[in-house]
Amino acid sequence: MRKLIILENTSYQKKKLIHHKINNKFPIEYIVDEAIEADVDYIYLASQFESDFGDTLKGKVSLLTPYDCISLKDEVVNNTKDEDVILIVRANTPLLTKNIIAELFDDHERNRYEISMPNMKKEAIRDGLRPVAFVLNGTTLKEAFNADEACLFHLTDFIRKSFYSGFIIGETEIADKDSLLLVNDFVDLEKATRLMNRRINTGHMLNGVIIENIDNVVIEKGVKIGKSTVIESGTRIYGDTIIGENCRIGFNTKIIDSKIYDNVDIESSYIEKSIVERYTNIGPYARLRPNAHLKENVHIGNFVEVKNSTVGEGTKAGHLTYIGDSDLGKDINIGCGVVFVNYDGKFKHRSVVDDRAFIGSNANIVAPVHVEEDGYVAAGSTITSDVLKGNLAIERAERKDVDGYVEKKRERDAKRSKDLGK
CA distances from 270 to 245, 290, 305 (A): 20, 11, 10
CA distances from 199 to 96, 178, 219 (A): 12, 11, 10
C-beta of residue 211 within 8 angstroms of C-beta of residue 41: no
3-class SS at 294?
strand
C-beta of residue 375 within 8 angstroms of C-beta of residue 387: yes
Total count of residues recorded for the chain: 422
Give the active site residue among 19, 20, 108, 319. Answer: 319
What is the 8-class DSSP label of residue 22? B
How many C-beta neighbours within 10 Å does residue 20 have? 13
Q: In Å, how far from its chain's centre is CA 285?
A: 20
Rounded to the nearest 10 degrees, what angle do helices 155-162 and 138-146 cross at? Answer: 110
Contacts of 409 (CB under 8 A, 6+ apart): none
Phi, psi at 105, each rounded to 5° = -65, -50
Q: What's the chain's Rg over C-alpha atoms?
A: 31
Among candidate residues 80, 82, 75, the one with its CA nearest the CA of residue 61: 75
As a whole number of angstroms, the distance between CA 3 and CA 366 comes to 60
CA distances from 98 to 39, 101, 285 (A): 9, 5, 39
As a whole number of angstroms, the distance between CA 289 and CA 146 comes to 56
319 labelled catalytic: yes
C-beta of residue 28 within 8 angstroms of C-beta of residue 18: yes
Among candidate residues 268, 225, 269, the one with its CA nearest the CA of residue 247: 225
C-beta of residue 325 within 8 angstroms of C-beta of residue 350: yes
Contacts of 111 (CB under 8 A, 6+ apart): 170
As a whole number of angstroms, the distance between CA 165 and CA 4 comes to 25
Q: Residue 118: is the preceding peptide bond cis (ω within 30°)?
A: no
What positions carry a catalytic annotation? Answer: 319
